[in-house]
Amino acid sequence: MKSSGKIDGPATPFLRNLDRFLEMMSAERGAAKNSVAAYRGDLEDYGAFLGQNGKSATNAAPEDIRNYLEGLDAAGMATSTVARRLSAIKQFHVFLQSENLSQDNPTRIIQGPRQKPSLPKTLLSNDMKSLLAAAADNTAGKEAAALFKALRLQCLVELLAATGLRVSELVGLKFANATAERDMLMIIGKGGRQRMVPVSARAQAVLQRYITALKLEAGETPVWLFPSHGAGGALTRQHFALQLKDLARHAGLNAAKVSPHVLRHGFASNLLDHGADLRAVQQMLGHADISTTQIYTHIQPERLSAAVESFHPLSQKRKTKTR
């Protein structure tokens, strides 16, 4: 039976338990507001389905969950969305059992839909160099406000390519967090988690030139590293994304294939391709789970094969070296 997606009437036991679960996710696990909202929407739909079938989360059986997932699949829901909903349901039932609100966890034997992980897009090394060169060329011959905007765009692109920040983290950088340490940026990421991200000498030089121009433009110490005249006071993600596509066209690249996320992935891929430690990449990207980093950076099969050949004690190549 298809659920309505809403649970009508006054607060039911399901909704009270859901509120307790979401409070735990926010307070103890640092879940972001958007994540909490997604959990609520997914679990309210699940609760409505159970209610229509005379069940609740505290007495649901594995068959109830299978029927719910089959209904989502029959309705044409994407595999990735079904998998996300099942993840939310599993975490909810683990919470209910840990709080002694239910005697069993019916999701223990439920397997999620199989899906092939999508590999993030990236730029070739030469394309990245062309983009950075175009950003530098864009500052030539400009003065006053036009020069400031060109320097701002160059700084944004250089930092993104050199740090792999999320675009929201980049445009949301506070001036104080960007200048506290000369070679590091203090980033406040998802869930309010803080991390320090190193900045290359090249990107640091571009940043310092931009900061000099920013101080002249602002006339005082600014709040945001990338201010704008918009309501929020800082440059928006959408505005930067549009500027990046314009820059890609000037660099002779396919603008449709260039975005802040593509540059973030290019940063991570380049690090792994040149032998960086996966845990270090995870920390710099701000991933809470290393499995996210593994999918995001799609380690090259040839690198894995080379690692086995070089370091596995039973490989032919290693035997030859040790003789």
Task: Clarify whether 265 is annotated catalytic.
Answer: no
Closest CA to 176 of 226, 222, 235: 222
Determine which one of 20, 149, 190, 318 is catalytic: 190
Task: Clarify whether 264 is annotated catalytic.
Answer: yes
Determine which one of 66, 261, 298, 318 is catalytic: 261
Side chain identity at residue 107, one-letter code: T
Tell how strand 194-198 and strand 184-188 pair up. Answer: antiparallel
Determine which one of 85, 93, 166, 265 is catalytic: 166
Determine which one of 39, 46, 68, 296 is catalytic: 296
From CA 156, how far away is CA 150, in angstroms rounded?
10
From CA 97, how far away is CA 26, in angstroms rounded?
19
Task: Clarify whether 296 is annotated catalytic.
Answer: yes
Q: How far apart are the first and last CA of the chain?
A: 68
DSSP code string of 277-297? -HHHHHHHHT-SSHHHHHHHH
Determine which one of 85, 93, 152, 287 is catalytic: 287
H or E stretch at 263: helix 260-273
Task: Clarify whether 287 is annotated catalytic.
Answer: yes
Place of tokens 């000099």: 212
Task: Clarify whether 261 is annotated catalytic.
Answer: yes
Task: Clarify whether 149 is annotated catalytic.
Answer: no
The set of catalytic residues is 166, 190, 261, 264, 287, 296
